[in-house]
Amino acid sequence: MDLEFQRDSIFYGKKVSSIVKQESFSNEVFAFSCEGKNYIYRHFNNCKHSQSQFEKELTVFLYKHNLTTEMIEFVDKSYMVTRKIEGRELSQQEFLKWEWISSLKKLHSQQYGKNIFRLEEEILKLYSDTPNKIKYQNAIESLKANPEFFSDLYHELSLCHLDLNPKNIFIVKKDFLFIDFEFTMMSSALVDLSQMLAHLEISKAQKENLFQIYGLSKEDSLKVESLEKYSCLFWALWCSSNRKSKDWESYYFDHYENSSL
């Protein structure tokens, strides 16, 4: 397996070894070594200029705040290379201890970018692209009938990852670093938490522990629990519109239908 580099790349013509494909939902990702150092090569699939450019600039910005790894090379709409984090992914058990939440709050304290992720609007965009409109029709009608639920959600904006899961958080000594900023935008921190909870099957006690560690008020905790249903709908539609695993689509949609607002 060969990785493609531009002629002006620092890797062009050099011996690249230990190429290992990494698990990724959206893009092709490979770990590789060159001259004794380890890197991650990420090939953009159908990536718009604005999206890949933003991710590059965001990675540089967050590296300065010790929240991610170092950007090494970037070719617009083609690929990016970052320094491989010399740590490890969080295990599910470590993730649910919530010790990394202080780093998440640090991320949420940042202000970067102009685009705003509005959950209800993103759901409607995905619905317009899904081939399964009949399946989701009732869910969309329910969403449209409840506009007041989102009316005051975005008065306070944070830099949000929007795809938090154990595979996107690494521990290095005592630091926690984030990767994979495909969805990252300004949004409500409550939305970021709900997007994460949509991926998880955890007890009420574990949720309450998360809310306490993050420092949420009772009102905001209830809001996150309500938002979780809409985040499940978002991920189900994302899987459907991007032709991803039907098993995952069913998982999120079942979660949506079994939730209550």
Same-domain pairing of 40 and 114: no
Q: Which domain-ending residue is among 57, 84, 111? A: 84
Domain for residue 3, yes or no?
no
Domain limits for position 107: 89-258
Same-domain pairing of 182 and 145: yes
* 194, 216 Cβ separation under 8 angstroms: no
Q: What is the pLDDT of residues 229-239, one digit of tens each?
A: 999 999 999 99
Same-domain pairing of 203 and 190: yes
Same-domain pairing of 80 and 209: no
Q: C-alpha distances in angstroms, 91 versus 30, 98, 161?
A: 21, 11, 19
Residue-level pLDDT at 139: 97
Phi, psi of 69 (to 5 degrees): -90, 180
What is the domain count for the chain?
2
pTM of the model: 0.93
Same-domain pairing of 98 and 114: yes
Same-domain pairing of 179 and 150: yes
Same-domain pairing of 173 and 240: yes
The CATH number of the domain holding residue 155 is: 3.90.1200.10
Q: Tell me how far apart the alpha carbons of residues 252 and 237 are, in angstroms, rounded to a whole number.
A: 9
Q: Tell me how far apart the alpha carbons of residues 99 and 176 are, in angstroms, rounded to a whole number.
A: 9
Q: Which domain-ending residue is among 84, 101, 120? A: 84
Same-domain pairing of 180 and 232: yes
Q: For residue 261, which amino acid is it?
A: L
pLDDT in tens, the chain (261 residues): 689 999 999 999 999 999 999 877 667 899 999 999 999 999 887 656 568 889 999 999 999 999 999 999 999 878 999 999 999 999 999 999 999 999 999 999 999 999 999 999 999 999 999 999 999 999 999 999 999 999 999 999 999 999 999 999 999 999 999 999 989 999 999 999 999 999 999 999 999 999 999 999 999 999 999 999 999 999 999 999 988 788 999 999 999 999 855
Q: How far is CA 134 from the centre of its chain?
A: 28
Domain for residue 7, yes or no?
no
Residue-level pLDDT at 46: 63
Same-domain pairing of 152 and 124: yes
